Amino acid sequence: MSILLKINNLYGGYYQEDVIKGLSLEVNQGDFLVIIGPNGSGKTTLLRLVTRVLAIKKGKVFYKDKNIVQMNLKEFCRKTAFVSQDIGTDFSFTVKELVLMGRIPHLKRLQFETKRDIEIVQEKLRATDLLDLADKCIDELSAGERQRVLVARALAQEPELLFLDEPTSHLDIGHQIQILDLLKKLNRVNNLTIVMILHDLNLASAYANRIALLDKGFVFKEGHPKEVLTYKNIEAVYKTIVLVDNNRLTGKPNIVLVPGEK
């Protein structure tokens, strides 16, 4: 299996503070990699560094054999897409207009969208259950609906590698499963490589083929869900007591929180 993204001894953060401190990690073609870890462990900072939102202070990130900081930005955006936690917008675009922006990396300068671009947008609106909202302004939508718009826009880029920062955080359980099932299908059928941050350890366990557990800017443990989601690893990093057994449907780890008071 070929390596799609290689992170080598990465340092970076905000101002003079390094949040990521010498982190190394590899993402294989076709991975569904979920990044987990407590608040402040560096999950979002890591994604911002590898998507060029933040400048890398030290270390290198390679997409295939290319250093990402040396790649043409438009080329990088044709290969990768990023769904952030930020669901706000300063302009009152419609849902369809925002999703259509995902096609920009594929257009030449001053080129108008083609029939094929419109068809791709319609397809992504349908897949994310947004067709009925296509003509609504983004500022008229709920937080969960906006989150689905960001996912649809990223999918419209047709990337090879998709980064998502907590894409289910504003969604009800029905739409959580809908989005994750869609991503898993694209991962399996279209070989879309996915790197996603999740706080819900059971969702991470159910959908990931690999998990990276971060702690204080480092990778504490990486591997198959059964290797990472042990009670010892979780208690060591999250400082809380849990029970871990096997999900009867998936065979993957199932985490049960143990209340401090009974």
pLDDT at 4: 95
Number of folded domains in the chain?
A: 1
**If pLDDT is split at 50, 70 and 90, which confidence band does 262 have?**
low
Q: What is the phi/psi pair of residue 260, to 5°?
A: -70, -30
Confirm whether 262 is domain-assigned. no
241: domain CATH number?
3.40.50.300
Is the pLDDT assigned to residue 227 strictly greater than 80?
yes
pLDDT at 261: 63
Residues 4-21: tens digit of each pLDDT: 999 999 999 998 889 999
Please state, in angstroms and as integers, the Cα–Cα distance from residue 172 to each residue in 25, 34, 59, following that order.
Answer: 32, 20, 39
Q: Which domain holds residue 126?
A: 3-257
Is the pLDDT assigned to residue 234 strictly greater than 70?
yes
Confirm whether 83 is domain-assigned. yes
**If pLDDT is split at 50, 70 and 90, which confidence band does 143 have?**
confident
pLDDT at 89: 62
pLDDT at 90: 62
Confirm whether 171 is domain-assigned. yes
Judged by DSSP in three states, 44 sits in helix
Confirm whether 144 is domain-assigned. yes
Residues 80-106: tens digit of each pLDDT: 999 987 666 666 889 999 999 988 888
Is the pLDDT assigned to residue 260 strictly greater than 80?
no
pLDDT at 96: 93
Tokens representing residue 37 in the block: 């870890």
pLDDT at 102: 87
What average pLDDT score do residues 55-79 get? 92
Tokens representing residue 9 in the block: 């001894």
What is the rounded average pLDDT for all residues in the chain? 91
| CA-based torsion, 233, 234, 236, 242: positive or negative | negative
Residues 168-181: tens digit of each pLDDT: 888 889 989 988 99
Confirm whether 119 is domain-assigned. yes
Confirm whether 204 is domain-assigned. yes
Residues 114-125: tens digit of each pLDDT: 888 899 999 999
Q: How far apart are CA 193 and CA 171, in angstroms?
A: 22
Is the pLDDT assigned to residue 110 strictly greater than 80?
no
Q: How far is CA 118 from the centre of its chain?
A: 25
Confirm whether 127 is domain-assigned. yes
Is the pLDDT assigned to residue 111 strictly greater than 80?
no
Confirm whether 58 is domain-assigned. yes
Residues 185-225: tens digit of each pLDDT: 999 988 999 999 999 999 999 999 999 999 999 999 999 99
pLDDT at 113: 76
Cβ-count burial of 45 within 10 angstroms (0-12 exposed, 13-18 middle, 19+ buried)? buried
